[in-house]
Structure 1
Amino acid sequence: MTRRENEHNDNNQHEEVANPGRRSFLGATATVGALGVTGGTGTALMMGGSGEARAAEGNQSTHVPLGQLDDYYGFWSGGHSGEVRVFGVPSMREIMRIPIFNHCSATGWGMTNESKRIMGDTHRFTNGDAHHPHLSYTDGSHDGRYLYINDKANSRVARVRLDIFKPDAMVTIPNIQAVHGLRLQKAPKTGYVFANGEFPIPQPNDGRDMDSPDKYWTLWTAVDGESMEVAWQVMVDGNLDNMDADYTGKYAAATCYNSEKATTLSGTMKSERDWVVVFNIERIEQAVKNGDYTTIGDSEVPVIDGRKGSDVTRYVPIPKNPHGCNTSTDGKYFICAGKLSPTVSMVEIAKLDDLFAGNLENERDVIAAEPELGLGPLHTTYDGRGNAYTTLFIDSQIVKWDMEKAVRNYNGEDVNYIIQKLDVHYQPGHNHATLAESKDADGKWLFSLNKFSKDRFLPVGPLHPENDQMIDISGEEMKLVHDTPTFAEPHDTVIVSRDMINTTKIWKRDDPFFAETVKMAEEDGINLETDNKVIRDGNKVRVYMTSVAPRFGLTEFSVKSGDEVTVVVTNQDTVEDVSHGFCVIGHGVSMEVSPQQTSSVTFTAGSPGVHWYYCNWFCHALHMEMSGRMMVEPADS
């Protein structure tokens, strides 16, 4: 009997014991589910089958008593909302929403001058598609400095300062369309933020070669995590999907689909295999240093040729249309999910030196194992105890499996590596366990981010929420303990201990976040701590005012219709949690001004008349009285 036959029989035998009847049911409908059919047996498949995933009492409690704090911060991508959502774990109380690629009328993000400077020209986009939030590292452990996240819709990468929970930098990646997978260099610290360009385009994309897909290429990008400038790019074959980096700082790997370079669904299915591209970061840096690169169009970013045959990359064949790529927390493997294959491919990182040195006969020699897990494997996370947890999209399950037993089985030993399968509701995509993107994985909680909720919550019309399910993995068995409805398809999450994040409670007056506004005030001769003045410069008017609950320093000012008005508000309150706001009625102007913060917004004065402004963050017993009048005079008066 062959190694693969042993493996297949072992898995089926285990499944029949753990979940009688499920495999026979799914076997008849797997093809239907894979094609996304939602009628007939396809509907039954998507509903998840048995009731095994009903909430159970776990070994740990999800209850956080009143007045006590959660053990973890959970950072969820906001999906199509373009934001990041912050939850306390295990309570799953939503603590904050961080607007990033979207516009937010509560905080003024996308409207204030401070946020526009950070967003640059892309503030004109009101949409975002936030996918993969990841926290910065030092020596493989999260250091709590920054969170990075990508916008697939507009090819951007943003950085969030975790002392203030606000973005402080954003960059648009040149020469690509759609940043999909995003991961960080883990050691010695987050020097690079790596971004996958998903969709190949003509290079340069200036109208030439549009009808010649064989001339389309995409690029893998490194952003300097400190300066937030694009450092270099690598041109590759195929559509880049997901990726991860190793724990040495030397290698990264990205799954690629569409090796056919097709532009239609059927065309992307013709080849028998696709690949995972392994990037040698040291060689790429040396190529840049040696000048072995080109540039594309108007961009000055160095572009290294990393297509097949390059010295800086290796293309390892793996099953068709791979998706997730996740580094095991012990640093041994890149685990790449098959999506259209029931297997995952375990790339042994220790063999990559030999791969690049040409000491292996075949690129497939770096595959340590390809365990068969179930239908539609997408993403894998870890508990730090040698176990991996993979989402099975078509099976609607999480499978827990032993990595080293999988390797032993692949090498011919008769050992079963699947520990448990747990039904989830329904169709899981990403999953993430606590601290599982660092060497500090603690094996406490796991979240399955499910694409469908079906009947799990009160009906809200045709658009359903997604369902993030919380699973206790502290014991030998996974136990489902909580459902959390989520909006607009969160793609991924990262969960870290609360002591890794150190926030500031009151703004520092010299914070660089509003340094440009302070500089403008200084040039106008304004003391932001004390002055309440109006400065006129032709049809440009700058209004400076302080705020102390419950009063603005200016309760009225006059402008002319059509004037460009900039209002600068400095909150002089020093009491934690006493935030003010500034909102002008009928002008689309709204912003947050927290204690000791300076915020500014620029708008065009409307039609003549009285236009009230008010504090829109409840701050005082006399909050309703905290208001003022903008007197707009006719333009020709």
Structure 2
Amino acid sequence: MSQDRIKDQKHDGQPDVSRRKFLNTAAFAGLAGASMTVGLSACKQEEKAAPAAAPASAPAAASEAGKYEVAPGQLDTYYSFSSGGHSGNVRIYGLPSGRELKCIPVFNTDCLVGWGITNESKAIIGTKPDGSLKYQTGDTHHVHPSYTDGTYDGKYLFVNDKINSRLARVRLDTMECDKITELPNVQGFHGTFPDKRDPVDASINHTTRVFCGAEFSIPLPNNGHNIEKTAEYRSLFSCVDSETMQVRWQVLIDGNCDLVATSYDGKLAATNQYNTEMGVHYPEMMSVERDACLFFNVARIEEAVKAGKVTYIGDSKVPVVDGRKAANADPKTALTCYVPIPKNPHGVNISPDGKYYACSGKLSPTATVIEHELVLKWFEGEIKEPRDTVVAEPEIGLGPLHTGFDNKGNAYTTLFLDSQIVKWNVEAAIKAYKGDKNVTVVLDRIDVHYQPGHGFTSMGETKEADGKFFISDNKFSKDRFLPVGPLHPETAQMIDISGDKMKLVADHSVLSEPHDSIVVRRDIIKTRQVYNMDEFPNAVKDPKDSGVFRDGKKVTVKLTGQAPAYSMPEFTVKKGDEVTIILTNHDKVEDLTHGFAIPKHDINFIVNPQETKSVTFKADKPGIYWCYCTHFCHALHLEMRSRMIVEL
């Protein structure tokens, strides 16, 4: 170890305070350097908040670490579903072990399962007229399951694609994506959240709406006209039906959307806004001292849509209502409410009791607490100013981002610049805001490594928050793991929050770049282990139905697989044929999956027990090609082959 490295550490392995100060200063300078006004404001905030950033709780002693381990053969208590960032996928981890269980391909291609290769997956992702994928990239940010009565129902998981403005739905019984919808007239689809309230139809045990925020303002329609009229750029807030996955309506707004939260009574959806200036360039986005948390009155919006008070943008058939400030000045008829929030907030979360929204100012050392009932009263005209819905604004540290909650009235917020998690009490913050100087708002702090982004508590986005664990997804992991080149892994650190003091009990490397995660009790998730063959219209139900079926130059090859053989040891096609292979797995044994790969044809996919999948390709190379099983299935796995003969 170099002398410089030794100087950067204390004997207990924790980072030296001077080193953390350097990290914070450098990060803050990068954020605040756009304008002198912001820089001076940041310096004042840092000076004011510095005394409160002092001692943080230490990690758990090594002797305690064992109680958080999951022994070989034992199951985890929780599932953690995590966005994969610009990998375009969703990852599943077990907690508290931190074991990675599965990657679910969503917006990316995946040669393990054939996602983006099989006809079925290409139909979900979307294709061009020539059959190629419309998009081959994705950027997943936020993952949230469907709800019934304020808690997860185990049916769906929803995840966004920021790059191409798509919403995907994952079935939680199979952990596979089954639908993808592209939002019209939207760029930078960042935040998403399902409705938490009871469904309107009690016979339907899933949520009926998913709300989606657009981060980037653009000309509407974005057709090459009015490019220089930047003051007219706008964003849209969208509502998607969770069952049909069709866009139900959109709201035209001032500013942009960042993250999204929903109320437990189904009355409000919310998004924080960090660019209310509607700036196009970076310095223009930093001029105001307050941005906003924007609330949507769901019932009024849907009434307006039903009454036909809508417009349409471009060639989209989605109804759009006007949620801009000028059109919503009268609270009694307003569709939207813009609550001023300092400064460049990033993240809005609602407490498990449904009473309060926490919205943190990224460039302010504060978290703003907004009372749900007061927002409703503003919409009824009982409160004059939107800012009057704010009931607390405690100073908690530098760079506050995301907030999770326990079951004791406490909030846990990530501090990006301080590289800490801060624990604070919501009711104490409200009392302090009213002038009570005898309450303690900030209860504890703990260092994380380094620069935490999203943070979340176990079951914390439901009314069943259990107050056991907080997971901090950190953006930097320098010095934490074995070096693997310039692209470092990132860290997910698990903190025990069950006591008065937070304890860091485990950390795990995670592949770049998780944004958001959610922790779900394992008893909520009910997975299937074997498919039903009747679900697949093209299933080859009897091996006797196997064969080669020609229609001109289009050829269909029907196959079954049952360990350790395919139903046809060989099949023949001709050069230039468009070949579709349909493969059904006839094994009924749990965990007995077969693969199918064709050398030199870029074909590889898997079929699970009783499942059917298909691929279509051009047989343009004459010769012999050994199709083989890629997924270990049997003692004679290597012998599981079929010979494709391509004749001239």
Superposition TM-score, scaled by structure 2 size: 0.89
Say whether 1:33 aligns with 2:27.
Answer: yes
For residues 59 and 249 of structure 1, the distance between their equivalents in structure 2, rounded to whole angstroms, comes to 41
Identity %: 51
For residues 60 and 404 of structure 1, the distance between their equivalents in structure 2, rounded to whole angstroms, comes to 35
**Does structure 2 retain, via aligned residues, the 8 Å contact 1:59–1:472?**
no
Say whether 1:617 aligns with 2:624.
Answer: no
User: Residue 496 of structure 2: which of 460, 472, 481 is its match?
Assistant: 472
Name the aligned partner's letter for residue 460 of structure 1: V
Say whether 1:509 aligns with 2:533.
Answer: yes
- Give matches, 1:63-462, under 5 Å: 63-121=69-127, 123-189=133-199, 190-309=207-326, 310=328, 311-414=334-437, 415-462=439-486
- Give matches, 1:540-559, under 5 Å: 540-559=554-573
1:177 deviation in Å? 0.6
Give the SS at the match of 2:259.
strand
**Does structure 1 retain, via aligned residues, the 8 Å contact 2:533–2:541?**
no
For residues 60 and 610 of structure 2, the distance between their equivalents in structure 1, rounded to whole angstroms, comes to 45
Listed one character per residue, the Cα deviations across residues 413-463 of structure 1 (whole Å, up to 9, x for unaligned) are 011210001000000000011101100000111100000000100001111
**Residues 61, 118 of structure 1: CA spacing in aligned structure 2 closer, same or farther, 3 A cutoff?**
same
1:317 deviation in Å? 0.8
**Does structure 1 retain, via aligned residues, the 8 Å contact 2:450–2:476?**
yes
Give the SS at the match of 1:325.
strand
Match of 1:537 in 2: 551
Name the aligned partner's letter for residue 30 of structure 2: G
1:510 deviation in Å? 2.6
1:50 deviation in Å? 9.2
For residues 408 and 59 of structure 1, the distance between their equivalents in structure 2, rounded to whole angstroms, comes to 37
For residues 487 and 87 of structure 1, the distance between their equivalents in structure 2, rounded to whole angstroms, comes to 12
Say whether 1:488 aligns with 2:482.
Answer: no
1:263 deviation in Å? 1.0
Match of 1:61 in 2: 67
Over the residues paired in the alignment, what is the CA RMSD in angstroms?
A: 2.3
Give the SS at the match of 1:573.
coil
For residues 348 and 183 of structure 1, the distance between their equivalents in structure 2, rounded to whole angstroms, comes to 19
**Does structure 2 retain, via aligned residues, the 8 Å contact 1:59–1:475?**
no
1:606 deviation in Å? 2.9
For residues 363 and 260 of structure 2, the distance between their equivalents in structure 1, rounded to whole angstroms, comes to 18
For residues 254 and 58 of structure 2, the distance between their equivalents in structure 1, rounded to whole angstroms, comes to 41
1:508 deviation in Å? 1.1
For residues 367 and 552 of structure 1, the distance between their equivalents in structure 2, rounded to whole angstroms, comes to 66
Name the aligned partner's letter for residue 100 of structure 1: V
Say whether 1:596 aligns with 2:613.
Answer: no
Listed one character per residue, the Cα deviations across residues 474-501 of structure 1 (whole Å, up to 9, x for unaligned) are 1111100111111121001111111101
Give the SS at the match of 1:429.
strand
**Residues 527, 142 of structure 1: CA spacing in aligned structure 2 closer, same or farther, 3 A cutoff?**
closer
**Does structure 2 retain, via aligned residues, the 8 Å contact 1:56–1:480?**
no
Name the aligned partner's letter for residue 450 of structure 2: Y
- Give matches, 1:6-25, under 5 Å: none
For residues 25 and 572 of structure 1, the distance between their equivalents in structure 2, rounded to whole angstroms, comes to 60
Listed one character per residue, the Cα deviations across residues 517-543 of structure 1 (whole Å, up to 9, x for unaligned) are 34xxxxxxx655641111111111110
Superposition TM-score, scaled by structure 1 size: 0.90
Give the SS at the match of 2:591.
coil
Give the number of aligned pairs.
Answer: 598
For residues 67 and 171 of structure 2, the distance between their equivalents in structure 1, rounded to whole angstroms, comes to 31
**Residues 619, 275 of structure 1: CA spacing in aligned structure 2 closer, same or farther, 3 A cutoff?**
same
Say whether 1:585 aligns with 2:599.
Answer: yes
Listed one character per residue, the Cα deviations across residues 72-130 of structure 1 (whole Å, up to 9, x for unaligned) are 11111111111111111111111111111110001001111111111123833221111
**Does structure 2 retain, via aligned residues, the 8 Å contact 1:561–1:605?**
yes
1:191 deviation in Å? 1.2
Name the stretch that deviates more: 58-67 or 287-296.
58-67
Match of 1:607 in 2: 621
1:277 deviation in Å? 0.7
For residues 56 and 355 of structure 1, the distance between their equivalents in structure 2, rounded to whole angstroms, comes to 50
Listed one character per residue, the Cα deviations across residues 217-239 of structure 1 (whole Å, up to 9, x for unaligned) are 11000000111110000011112
Give the SS at the match of 1:456.
coil
Name the stretch that deviates more: 62-71 or 72-81.
62-71
Name the stretch that deviates more: 282-291 or 472-481.
472-481
Name the aligned partner's letter for residue 244 of structure 1: A
**Which structure 2 residue ranges, 5 or more long, are not aligned?**
1-13, 33-42, 44-49, 200-206, 329-333
Give the SS at the match of 2:125.
helix
**Does structure 1 retain, via aligned residues, the 8 Å contact 2:213–2:257?**
yes
Name the aligned partner's letter for residue 317 of structure 2: E
Give the SS at the match of 1:35.
helix
Match of 1:521 in 2: none
**Residues 32, 452 of structure 1: CA spacing in aligned structure 2 closer, same or farther, 3 A cutoff?**
closer
**Does structure 2 retain, via aligned residues, the 8 Å contact 1:529–1:570?**
no
Give the SS at the match of 1:239.
coil
Name the aligned partner's letter for residue 594 of structure 1: N
1:31 deviation in Å? 5.6
Listed one character per residue, the Cα deviations across residues 232-266 of structure 1 (whole Å, up to 9, x for unaligned) are 00011112111100100000110112112211110
Name the stretch that deviates more: 421-430 or 347-356.
347-356
Match of 2:204 in 1: none
For residues 49 and 632 of structure 1, the distance between their equivalents in structure 2, rounded to whole angstroms, comes to 72
